[in-house]
Structure 1
Amino acid sequence: MPAPHSGRTRIRPGASRPCSLVVCRGCCCGDARKNPGTDHAGQLRRLREAAAASGGRLAVRTSDCLGPCGQANVVVVQPSTEGRRRGARAAWVGWALDDDCLDDILAWVEAGGPGVAAPPDTLALQMIDAPKR
């Protein structure tokens, strides 16, 4: 009998990892009191639907608070294996509050994401620094 599925994507050793999105849903991100004009559940649903339709080229997961609450909603775009080979690091996007931002994130990932393709100019303006540890 196979082990129960944990809901996490399992990558075989040596296999390529896709770009992945880490969507903050901690204390401020995803909170309708902080950003009442944003359909937070709809955003997450849209990203998950895009991942399901991507044929394994995109993974989406949520996280508790990532830290930069002043720039909520935060989405971290993690590079694919190819992007990492090219020296890319995770890109942090702040103020991900509308469909235009999600369009830009999804278009960038479709083009290859960090290290493979340049982000759309409008998305580059929303890039923030990762919090210092």
Structure 2
Amino acid sequence: MALPERDVLLCRDCCCGTAKKHPDADHRGQRDEIEALDDPAGRRGPRVRVRVVDCLDECDRSNVVLVRDFTWFPGGRRPKDFWLGGVLSTGVTEAVVDWVREGGPVPETLQRHVFRGKRG
């Protein structure tokens, strides 16, 4: 199987995805929408692998999504990491999903959510 064009890591642990910290966010809906991107074979568009992870160690920026784009550098061996924080509303989640499907630079609607992660 070919490598994915994009990996999407959805943080879900102590802060991200919990009603305790963000009671008004639709955490289940967000997870469902992002998991629907999972298409490692590329049958519906770009090859996307979605992983739900325990903690990305960015709890102060929850909900956090890390998009690793393997198309950014020639050869696809090293990804360009895009850290997105404060992904709490349906609109922001939809913007992430659309961007992952379409690729390219981070859209204007997501610029304020981009930050430099501790791991990248």
TM band (smaller chain): 0.7 to 0.9
Q: 2:88 aligns with which of 97, 100, 103?
A: 97
Rg comparison, structure with higher value: 1
Q: TM-score, normalised by structure 1?
A: 0.75
Unaligned runs of 5+ in 2: none
Q: CA-to-partner distance for each residue in 1:43-65, whole Å, 9 max, x for gaps?
A: 11111123358356222111111
1: CA distance between counterparts of 2:44 and 2:54?
25
Bigger share in strand: 2
| Corresponding residue for residue 6 of structure 1 | none
The percentage of aligned residue pairs carrying the same residue is 30
Structure 1 runs not aligned, ≥5 long:
1-11
Aligned to 2:67: 77
TM-score (norm 2): 0.83
Deviation beyond 6 Å, 4+ runs, structure 1: none
Look up the match of 1:23. Answer: 10
Q: Amino acid of the residue matched to residue 83 of structure 1?
A: W
CA RMSD in angstroms comes to: 2.2
Q: When the two structures are aligned, how many residues end up with a matched partner? A: 115
**In structure 2, C-alpha distance between the alignment counterparts of 1:129 and 1:37, rounded to whole Å:** 26
